Amino acid sequence: MKNYDFLIVGAGLFGAVIAHRATQAGKRCLVIDKRQHIGGNVYCEKIEGINVHKYGAHIFHTSNKEIWDFVNSIVPFNRYTNCPVAYAPDGKLYNLPFNMNTFYQMWGVKNPAEAMDKLKEQRQDAIDRMKADGISEPRNLEEQALCLIGKDIYEKLIKHYTEKQWGRPCTELPAFIIRRLPVRLTFDNNYFNDTYQGIPIGGYNLLIEGLLKGCDIRLGVDFKEIKQSWNDIAEKLVYTGPIDEYFDFKLGRLDWRTVRFETEILNIPNYQGNAVVNYTDSLTNWTRIIEHKHFESFGDGVYENPKTVISREFSTEFKSGMEPYYPVNDNRNNSLAEKYRQLADKEDNVIFGGRLADYKYYDMAPVIEQAMKVQI
């Protein structure tokens, strides 16, 4: 008899939700992770009493009440609302996402009618150019951004940030990336349109620890070492690592973007007055600075800790041995990922899921939704 019903490779959100559901259903689970901690990229490290998002800012948002209630049943979430600010090439700060505050700061327009006139004027060039070329749908991120929001905002808030983040010209990036950002004719700086948003009180580690309760966990174990014999250990395998790695890269390697952080402790209580400041200029090398305490302290609470921790975020191309973060969803990579998916469909008793195995630019809530649908 095998010791476990499930061997779960990867202690991130997808693996942890499956582990939770399987344990609740009376199944035995072994969760392994090659890192020395659980949580995958939502893992937080406590520094100076502050939960530092070690692998970049994670802000939970969803409109799915079932998912919101589920995560809150594991650990209550706070009222954090993401309102990033952008430091632009003109040296000024602008509110994000693109809304009436941004339009007022950019052009001095004071109401939606004035903003609409200005946006129409700003978009016109791109629309005329596409018409002249006989194109009905934007072919890349640059065309999409110019049609959506026009040239000033594209130049000041999108172009350089995007090229720093993805390491490719906007003309070579897919249009959908920029459609993640809302465009609003209201004075609303909330980055997300979702009904629910927040950060687990006490940090993401509590969420993952709660989900993994009742499972066996082995850290520092690379799946490669037990790949040949996994079926001796468990009936079923849940694999959340990179899909190309599972198949020993036999069809070629997928590209990823990775992120490097420079984290600093400062002897001041409040460095930038906000959790997230994006640097949308081309001279600054980092894409953004995260000041972690603002995810969990509000109002005067910010001053209870005399210190603060900030992380500068540098986006770089992934090389073997680094942690993969973002899939690069260009045509080459998408079609390669599709071929790997076809191989995955033929694997018996293996469930693939999460950002790395699906090679999809998922937020956290859709990963949980996906894990909720898996038949245990």
Helices (H), the chain: 13-24, 65-74, 100-107, 112-132, 141-149, 151-153, 159-166, 204-211, 223-226, 230-233, 243-246, 331-345, 355-358, 364-373
Choose among 327, 355, 41: nearest CA to 204: 41
Report how far apart, in Å, the C-alpha atoms of 234 and of each of 3, 35, 80, 295, 326 are: 6, 21, 40, 39, 30
210 or 366, CB closer to ligand UDP?
Answer: 366
Q: With beta carbons less than 8 A apart as the criterion, state whether 371 and 17 touch.
A: yes
Q: Is 312 a catalytic residue?
A: no
Answer for which of 50, 177, 237, 357 binds ligand UDP (CB under 6 A) is 177
59 or 238, CB closer to ligand UDP?
Answer: 59
Q: Which of 257, 281, 330, 369 is catalytic?
A: 257
Alpha-carbon gap, residue 212 to 215, rounded angstroms: 6
Q: Is 260 a catalytic residue?
A: no
Q: Which of 180, 218, 260, 332 is catalytic?
A: 180
Alpha-carbon gap, residue 54 to 56, rounded angstroms: 6
Q: Which of 45, 152, 330, 363 is catalytic?
A: 363
φ/ψ (deg, to 5) at 197? -160, 145
- Shortest distance in whole angstroms from residue 93 CB to ligand UDP: 12
Q: Is 5 a catalytic residue?
A: no
Q: Does 356 engage in binding with ligand UDP (CB under 6 A)? A: no
Q: Is 361 a catalytic residue?
A: yes
- Reported as type and span, the H/E element at residue 326 is strand 326-327
Q: Does 259 engage in binding with ligand UDP (CB under 6 A)? A: no
Q: Does 180 engage in binding with ligand UDP (CB under 6 A)? A: yes
Q: Does 50 engage in binding with ligand UDP (CB under 6 A)? A: no
Q: Does 149 engage in binding with ligand UDP (CB under 6 A)? A: no
- Shortest distance in whole angstroms from residue 249 CB to ligand UDP: 26
48 or 369, CB closer to ligand UDP?
Answer: 369
Q: Which of 55, 184, 244, 279 is catalytic?
A: 184
Alpha-carbon gap, residue 335 to 297, rounded angstroms: 44
Q: Is 104 a catalytic residue?
A: no
* 97 cis-preceded (ω within 30 degrees of 0): yes
Answer for which of 157, 175, 208, 350 binds ligand UDP (CB under 6 A) is 157
Site string for ligand UDP, 101-140 (x = CB under 6 A): ----------------------------------------
Q: Is 341 a catalytic residue?
A: no
Q: Please identify, among the stretches 69-77, 174-182, 195-203, 245-253, the one whose residues bind ligand UDP according to the rule CB under 6 A.
A: 174-182
Report how far apart, in Å, the C-alpha atoms of 261 and of each of 40, 53, 264, 292 are: 16, 10, 10, 13
The DSSP letter of residue 142 is H
Q: Does 41 engage in binding with ligand UDP (CB under 6 A)? A: no
Q: Is 313 a catalytic residue?
A: yes
- Shortest distance in whole angstroms from residue 72 CB to ligand UDP: 22
Question: Helix (H, G, I), strand (E, B), or coil: what is residue 12?
Answer: coil
The half-sphere exposure of 16 on its side-chain side, counting CA atoms within 13 A, is 27
Report, as residue numbers or ranges, the catalytic residues.
180, 184, 257, 288, 313, 361, 363
User: Which spans of this chain sit near ligand UDP (rule: CB under 6 A)?
Assistant: 86, 96, 157-158, 161-162, 165, 177-178, 180-181, 278, 280
